[in-house]
Amino acid sequence: MPEAGLLAILPMNEIVFFLNKVVIAGFIIGSVYALGAVGVTLIFGILRFAHFPHGDMMTAGAFVALVLLWIFPGAGAAVGLPTAFVLMPIAMAVTALFAVGLDRTFYRPMRKAGVKPVVMVMTSIGVMLMMQGLLRLFAGTGTRQLYVDTDAKDIYRIPLGGRDLVITEPQLLLFATTIVAVVALHLFLTRSRMGKAMRAVSDNPDLARVSGISIDHVVRTTWLIAGALAAAGGTLLALDVTLKPDLSYNIILPIFAAAIVGGVGQPYGAIAGGLLVGFSETLAVFNWSVLLRPLRPYLPEFIEIPAKLAFVPTEYKIVVPFFILVAVLIWRPTGIFKGRVNI
């Protein structure tokens, strides 16, 4: 059969390795960035400042899920899913309310005083430091597991000839949640009154105000959505890897990069940007020699294939989102989806 012949020629082992290391891994980390970047870009668009504590809000959401886990340890077994995932909606609600509270306590008084945007950013950094201090104070600096169910993580292995394609249960749940969140957000922004009001405020706050839109309502909804999505992203990331207070600091720069690449104030752009940054990271640290090695017999003698051929060494992963950010700021400051630059 020709198909079998083709499969035999193709280096399936290496291709599946590529799929595992780049496509799946990129999609996972990209989804997490996207869930964070949507919140950042909504806040950026409506309140006009970069919300630095967003990473900590994601971590806080994961810790809320951890506390819920201690209170209802049996919730997952009843449904057959990881307990933390079953409890995630409650964690999302709690974090959403927490985000509104944060706004009431710290940001609203500053807004009412009419401070410059840069002072808002500084306030948000103050809030970030407070959240980090509190998280570490109560949770310590150690690493915890959010996946505590007695049975080990379900790992699906899809045989493709040679190596298996590997996806774990938390990763599937992450894909599903991201897709549901994106569709729900789209419907909300395009069909509901509040969603349309949010877009109006983002486009032109003065015009929105004179046409009778309550800015306070819109701001509250923004924080609710941002907080809920942040909690979902944080919980799912912690479920896939581990939960530690340092989680936030490593994801905040890629999240900002994703929001700016996608165009500030553009939720769809943020999702595309998140995936772009995620894939770029995994592509940059991927060892390309693995894919080149099967070509060895076809290459001329003088070309050597080095043992390690990655664009960026793994320890410099942080450079990737930064370079994307700088490149976008230089060549297309509005982002790929035409957001705003100067508000």
Size of the site for other proteins (CB under 8 A): 51
- Token output for 144: 């915890």
Q: Provide CB contacts within 8 A for 197, sequence distance 6+.
A: 208, 213, 214, 217, 218
Q: Nearer Cβ to other proteins, position 180 or 318?
A: 318
Q: Nearer Cβ to other proteins, position 38 or 127?
A: 127
Q: Nearer Cβ to other proteins, position 12 or 110?
A: 110
Would you say 62 and 234 are in contact if contact means Cβ atoms under 8 Å apart?
A: yes
Is residue 117 at the binding interface for other proteins, with CB under 8 A as the rule? yes
Window 135 to 164, contacts with other proteins (CB under 8 A): 136-137, 140-142
Q: Which residue from 27, 85, 223, 256 is in contact with other proteins, where contact means CB under 8 A? A: 256
Is residue 119 at the binding interface for other proteins, with CB under 8 A as the rule? yes
Interface segment toward other proteins; rule CB under 8 A; list 83-91, 104-112, 164-172, 210-218: 104-112
SS3 call for 192: coil
Q: How far is the CB of 96 from other proteins (least distance, A)?
A: 21
For strands 155-159 and 164-168, give the pairing: antiparallel
Q: How far is the CB of 34 from other proteins (least distance, A)?
A: 18
Q: Cα separation of 269 and 264, whole Å? A: 8
Q: Which residue from 7, 217, 313, 338 is in contact with other proteins, where contact means CB under 8 A? A: 313
Q: Which residue from 132, 221, 222, 235 is in contact with other proteins, where contact means CB under 8 A? A: 132
**What is the per-residue binding string for other proteins in 43-82, x denoting contact by CB under 8 A?**
-x----xx-x------------------------------
DSSP state letters, 242-278: -B-TTHHHHHHHHHHHHHHHH-TT-HHHHHHHHHHHH
**What is the per-residue binding string for other proteins in 287-306, x denoting contact by CB under 8 A?**
-------------------x
Among the listed residues 27, 8, 335, the one whose alpha carbon sits nearest the alpha carbon of residue 172: 27
Interface segment toward other proteins; rule CB under 8 A; list 173-181, 187-195, 216-224, 314-322: 314-322
Q: Cα separation of 116 and 137, whole Å? A: 32
Q: Cα separation of 338 and 101, whole Å? A: 31
Q: Cα separation of 71 and 94, whole Å? A: 14
Is residue 341 at the binding interface for other proteins, with CB under 8 A as the rule? yes
Is residue 249 at the binding interface for other proteins, with CB under 8 A as the rule? yes
> Count of alpha carbons within 13 Å of 247, Cβ hemisphere only?
38
Taking phi over 0 as left and psi of -120 to 50 as alpha, with beta for the rest, 140 belongs to left
Is residue 166 at the binding interface for other proteins, with CB under 8 A as the rule? no
Q: Nearer Cβ to other proteins, position 113 or 210?
A: 113
Interface segment toward other proteins; rule CB under 8 A; list 24-32, 64-72, 127-135, 164-172: 127-135
Q: How far is the CB of 305 from other proteins (least distance, A)?
A: 12
Among the listed residues 18, 33, 28, the one whose alpha carbon sits nearest the alpha carbon of residue 286: 18
Q: Nearer Cβ to other proteins, position 90 or 110?
A: 110
Q: Cα separation of 216 and 222, whole Å? A: 10
Report the Cα–Cα distance between both ends of the chain, in Å, rounded: 62
Taking phi over 0 as left and psi of -120 to 50 as alpha, with beta for the rest, 155 belongs to beta
Interface segment toward other proteins; rule CB under 8 A; list 61-69, 79-87, 267-275, 317-325: 317-325
Interface residues with other proteins (CB under 8 A) are 44, 49-50, 52, 106, 109-110, 113, 115-119, 121-123, 125-134, 136-137, 140-142, 249, 253, 256, 260, 306, 313, 315-316, 318-319, 321-322, 325-326, 329-330, 333, 341-343
